[in-house]
Amino acid sequence: MGPARHKATLHSLVPVRYLSEMDLESASAQSTFNTIYNPRRNKGLAFTRDERAQLGIEGLLPDSVDDPATQLARCASHLSHKPTNLERYIYLSELEDRNERLFYRLLRSDLGRFMPLVYTPTVGEACQEYGHILRRPKGMWLSLRMKGRLREVLRNWPDADTRFIVVTDGERILGLGDLGANGMGIPVGKLALYTAVAGVPPWTTLPVHLDVGTNNESLLANPLYPGLRQHRATGDEYLAFVEEFVDAVQHVFPQCCIQFEDFAGKIAVALLDCYRDRCCCFNDDVQGTAGVALAGLLGACRVLGQPLKSQRVLFLGAGAAATGIANLIALEMESEGLEIEQARARCSLMNSRGLVTSQMSGLSDFQMPFAHAAAPCSTLIEAVRQLKPTALIGVSTQGGAFTEEVIREMSSLNSRPIIFPYSNPTSKSECTAQQAMEWTGGRAIFGSGSPFPPVTVGNRTITLGQGNNVYIFPAVGMAVYATQASRVPESVFLEAARTLASQVTEASLRDGIIYPPVGSIMACSEVVAIAVAKHIVQLGLARNPEATRPGADIADLVRRLWYHPETA
């Protein structure tokens, strides 16, 4: 099969839109292979008898016609026989490959159960084993071997109206480090949540891996590693390749938003600074994490009955995530009346060398706004005692770094200490929910990046809040999709954080719960998406005529564009 014929076949197998009732007559002439084996068209045993006759697929399926409940029950039965979460991840990935609509119906049937299987924490293990569990490749793999031809290669993707790309180079996957091409599980998982949580149509999304090599020697020596077998490109070669990729996206998919994901800290900040004013893009590790952290702090402030500007925040970690959160906190404090320098002075960072101070050498430009004049501290407990923070935020990927001594010191300084161990996966979390509650006598206001089981506080058993970026980035994605935004400024994440915080009920706050329950995440995402979309329109960044016409009903626009697998 020659290249031209192969490309045409790809396009026929991955159509831009779904089969609908009106398509049935014309679709009857299409190949049965394209009907049954294309995940966007395949309905499995849910094809009615009339559809089977009209599509020419009679006899190719068992006699039974499944209703939606039966299909979900069949999936549940399969999952119940899988012995590990990794095996469940593999099953769900294969379900997406053969019946996309059923995959999203299943996810939405119990998001609290399935999000940890398709994303954190299971996706971390899946990425570590990606070369071993790889079945059908998803998305696009752009290798250094393709430099100079990225526009041409991107045109091989069959959906011309691609609106979202989540891209990684695999260098800093979660808290697991350099996983190279195995990091593709992250863009795949992120985009599944765009659709499952916030209604972004799946045919508008594209996961991408920029394969510039890996410095992980164990992967390079592994015969099943699927990526480019060389050490990482760096410097001008690396930056030129990323530049070519961003340029190619603008030409091939002119309305596409790029989400940078799991790049190394300094590179992440540099790429965001380089492209944020040149194209529609954002970095979820920097800005999405900042949005969900700020929302958690705003919720904590509601519990305390205090303004954000009165808080003192100490970060364990001084990379892109920490400075991204600190920047957004400072902007919100500024909106409450502080000068920006006063606001930044209330945020302090710790790195591997100790407290970040103005006397410390070798700091990056993005760390300098939070390098204050202070006595040096080499340990976290010293910094807590010196700075007396009201909030402790962990973005260090150092599991167990919030020790009993540290948490008890926070508890002695504050009647309700704010403890946010945001690192993930779970093994990298700075402390557990149970530890935070035990060591503070149940007084901690807690939010974590990884999910933890319910904890007992006194005579109550409660599920504490998870500060998962999924509360932010899918809703921002839907807002960008609905408005066709030309840019994603920092104020978008302020708006998202404020709106998310407003969705927490007073009853939840009384229990110390600062994020909406996972069961309401779709409804919450709709509210956030509408608020962010309105903000984008107010900023003059919307390109969709439906959003910019006088009197446009933005809420109605978002709801009309929302993807529903039952009716797609």
Q: Could you give the angle at the alpha carbon of 501 between the alpha carbons of 495 and 503, nearest 5°?
A: 110
Average the pLDDT over 413-441 and give the result.
Answer: 94
Convert the pLDDT of each residue in 34-70 to its tens digit. 788 889 999 999 999 999 998 889 999 999 999 999 9
pLDDT the model gives residue 66: 95
Task: State residue 455 phi and psi, 5-degree precision.
Answer: -120, 155
- Contact of 280 with 303, CB cutoff 8 Å: no
What are the distances in angstroms from CA 278 to CA 52, 246, 258? 49, 10, 11
pTM of the model: 0.91
Which ranges constitute the DSSP H helices of 391-540?
404-413, 433-439, 473-483, 491-502, 506-510, 521-538
In DSSP terms, which residues pair with 178 in a beta bridge? none
pLDDT the model gives residue 15: 40
Q: What is the mean pLDDT of the chain?
A: 92
> Which residue type does 203 have?
W
Convert the pLDDT of each residue in 512-534 to its tens digit. 899 998 889 999 999 999 999 99
Convert the pLDDT of each residue in 148-198 to its tens digit. 999 999 999 999 999 999 999 999 998 889 999 999 999 999 999 999 999
Q: What domains lie within the chain, and their CATH numbers?
A: 3-65 (no CATH), 70-263 (3.40.50.10380), 294-468 (3.40.50.720), 471-561 (3.40.50.10380)
In DSSP terms, which residues pair with 209 in a beta bridge? 141, 168
Question: Is pLDDT above 60 for 370?
Answer: yes
**Cα separation, 354 vs 287, whole angstroms:** 25
Residue by residue, DSSP assigns 361-423 as: SS--TTTGGG-BS----SSHHHHHHHH--SEEEE-S--TT-S-HHHHHHHHHH-SS-EEEE--
**Within a 10 A sphere around the Cβ of 38, how many other Cβ atoms?**
20
**Cα separation, 473 vs 456, whole angstroms:** 31
Q: Could you give the residue numbers annotated as active site? A: 119, 190
Cα-Cα-Cα-Cα dihedral sign, residues 325, 268, 543, 554 = negative
**Cα separation, 219 vs 229, whole angstroms:** 9
Convert the pLDDT of each residue in 295-311 to its tens digit. 999 999 999 999 999 99
Question: Is pLDDT above 50 for 19?
Answer: no
Element (H, E) at 464: none
Question: Is pLDDT above 90 for 287?
Answer: yes
Q: Could you give the angle at the alpha carbon of 494 between the alpha carbons of 536 and 534, nearest 5°?
A: 25
Give the DSSP letter of residue 221: T
**Cα separation, 180 vs 173, whole angstroms:** 9
